[in-house]
Structure formats: structure tokens, C-alpha cells
């Protein structure tokens, strides 16, 4: 474990030794009702564009599909992000600049059945307004906008349904995923680290699905790697706060922090 101040010194003196990995929704992008309209905070995107060429590695590790997060993030339009690693669907999908293609598991037939059946089931459970999102390897049920009673009523049925279909049940901030892959963000983060020569690893997240990435940082720390756990805090989820080394105020706080890091390694742009 390192401190936030130690990280600033490391980024200033040896940025090539640092891997910065971040979650997408709730960390880089504000949470929105319609997940297909989410976008990276403009100041975070500008900071990442400056950090990308200078850090030892930059990665997005997200529950979203790779192609979706690359489109929503508009990463390909920014030259500084052409070396960005993207691990989608908790790491079940991979994209890296070395291959330029998305690699991942095949879609399970049960996902097709869920996409077709869930609207009727949700209606029967008293939550017909819940949004069903087909994520390719998973199905997400979004409860944002529902009454608290309606949102709570679907949790146990969805968990039971996942268990009966031998799927992973992944709770999040007003969203519940049923996915065929058991890979976690711990696997994804360690996979990225294994391909890089870095001595400092940072991960920033906001939700329950990010806790395994914190576990990965603990594992790396036990092996002598400097680590920093960053929490993008919200009133909806506080599970990461107690384990975080640095707690920031949501995507706005993340944008401020990333800009501070970028100013350390890109002072010419910072002065303009």
C-alpha cells in the first residue's frame, strides 16, 4: 500500500512505473438512468489523454462490454489513449493495443432466454418498469427510477433465478446482473499487470463489483508492489470506503484527481 501523496511523488518522478486502472460507470462516467447514454466526464477524458503516453499502463476494467465502453468513452478519437487496455464484462472480454481486436467468451444460450423472459418475470414481480439490458455475455436489470419497494422486490427472485441457471449474480448500484462468466475484476486487473513492467498499481472504483480489484491490490502488495485503492464515493454505495486509501467525491472528484496527476507529468499543457 502507498499513500495518495506517495503516488503523486511517484507519478512525478517515474510515471512509466505506474499502472492506472479505473472502473467506468460511477467512476469515470456519472451514473445515468439510461446506461446507453453514459459518457466519460470531460475533464477525466482530457486528463487520461495526457496521462496515457506517459504512464506505464492505463486500463479500463468494467462490467460493460468492451465495444460499448470504447464507444461511450470515445477513446479511439484521442491519440493519448491508443495504448489503453480495456477489460469488459468483468474481464471476460479483452481488448488491447497489441491485438486491436476484442477477445472473449462466447455468448451462452441462456442469455437469449433471459432477454426474452425477464420482462414478463419482472412484471409478475411487480416491477414492469425495470430496464432489461442485453450485455452480450450477461443480462442487467436496472432498477433506477423504481420505487424502493419495487426495486427491493426483484432482488431475491433474480438471485434465485441466477442460482437455478448456474449464473453469477452481480449486484450493483440499482442494477443486478446475471452473467455466465465467473471472472472478476481481480482476474482482469492481475491479467493486465502480468503483461507490464510496473512497480505501482492503482485502481479506482465505486461499487461492489470493484471489491475484487481491491483484493487483487492486496495480493500485489503482499508481493512487494506499491498499490493505491481509490474510491469514487456516493450516497448509494459505501462498501469501498472502509478499504480505500483515497476517497473522492464521485466522478467530479475523480476528474479533479486525474487532472492533478496529468499536471504532474504534462506541465506544459497544464500551464496553457
Give the model's pLDDT for residue 118.
95
Selecting from 3.40.50.1000, 3.40.50.2000, 3.90.550.10, 3.40.640.10, what CATH number does the domain 4-102+184-271 have?
Answer: 3.40.50.1000
Q: Which residue has the cell 467530479?
A: 252
Asked if residue 65 lies in contact with residue 93, where contact means CB atoms within 8 angstroms, the answer is: yes
Q: Which residues of the chain have pLDDT under 70?
A: 1, 268-272
pTM of the shown model: 0.88
Q: What are residue 103's DSSP bridge partners? A: 94
The domains of the chain are located at 4-102+184-271, 109-179
In this predicted structure, what is the pLDDT of residue 1? 66
Which cell numbers in the block locate residue 30? 456519472
pLDDT at 268: 63
Q: Residue 89 carries which DSSP code?
A: G
Position 45 scores a pLDDT of 97
The span from the CA of 202 to the CA of 183, in Å, is 20
Write down the pLDDT at residue 269: 45
Residue with grid cell 412484471, as numbered in its chain: 123
Distance CA 138, CA 49 (A): 30
CA 144 to chain centre: 19
Determine what percent of the chain falls in helix, strand and coil, rounding each to the nearest 5.
45, 20, 35
Distance (Å, whole) CA 25 – CA 2: 25
Specify the residue for cell string 477477445. Answer: 103
pLDDT score, position 270: 44
From CA 59, how far away is CA 102, in angstroms rounded?
A: 15
Assigned fold of 109-179: Alpha-Beta Plaits (3.30.70)
3 state DSSP class of 229: strand
Amino acid at each position: 500500500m502507498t499513500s495518495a501523496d506517495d503516488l503523486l511523488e511517484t507519478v512525478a518522478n517515474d510515471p512509466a512505473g505506474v499502472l492506472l486502472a479505473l472502473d467506468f460507470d460511477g467512476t469515470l462516467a456519472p451514473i445515468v438512468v439510461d446506461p446507453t447514454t453514459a459518457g466519460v466526464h470531460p475533464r477525466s477524458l482530457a486528463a487520461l489523454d495526457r496521462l496515457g503516453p506517459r504512464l506505464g499502463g492505463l486500463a479500463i476494467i468494467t462490467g460493460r462490454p468492451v465495444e460499448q465502453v470504447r464507444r461511450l468513452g470515445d477513446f479511439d478519437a484521442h491519440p493519448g489513449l491508443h495504448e489503453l487496455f480495456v477489460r469488459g464484462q468483468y474481464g471476460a472480454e479483452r481488448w488491447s493495443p497489441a491485438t486491436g481486436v476484442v477477445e472473449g467468451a462466447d455468448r451462452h444460450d441462456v442469455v437469449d432466454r433471459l432477454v426474452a423472459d425477464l420482462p414478463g418475470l419482472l412484471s409478475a414481480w411487480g416491477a414492469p418498469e425495470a430496464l432489461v439490458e442485453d450485455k452480450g455475455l450477461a443480462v442487467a436489470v436496472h432498477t433506477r427510477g423504481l420505487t424502493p419497494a419495487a426495486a427491493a422486490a426483484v432482488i431475491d427472485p433474480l438471485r434465485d433465478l441466477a442460482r437455478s441457471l448456474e449464473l453469477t449474480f452481480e449486484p450493483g448500484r440499482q442494477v443486478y446482473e446475471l452473467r455466465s462468466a465467473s471472472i472478476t475484476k481481480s482476474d482482469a486487473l492481475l491479467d493486465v499487470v502480468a503483461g507490464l513492467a510496473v512497480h505501482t498499481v492503482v485502481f479506482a472504483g465505486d461499487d461492489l463489483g470493484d471489491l475484487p480489484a481491491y483484493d487483487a491490490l492486496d495480493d500485489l502488495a503482499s508481493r512487494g508492489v506499491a498499490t493505491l485503492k481509490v474510491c469514487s464515493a456516493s450516497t448509494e454505495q459505501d462498501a469501498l470506503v472502509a478499504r480505500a486509501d483515497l476517497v473522492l467525491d464521485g466522478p467530479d472528484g475523480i476528474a479533479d484527481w486525474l487532472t492533478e496527476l496529468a499536471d504532474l507529468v504534462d506541465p506544459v499543457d497544464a500551464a496553457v
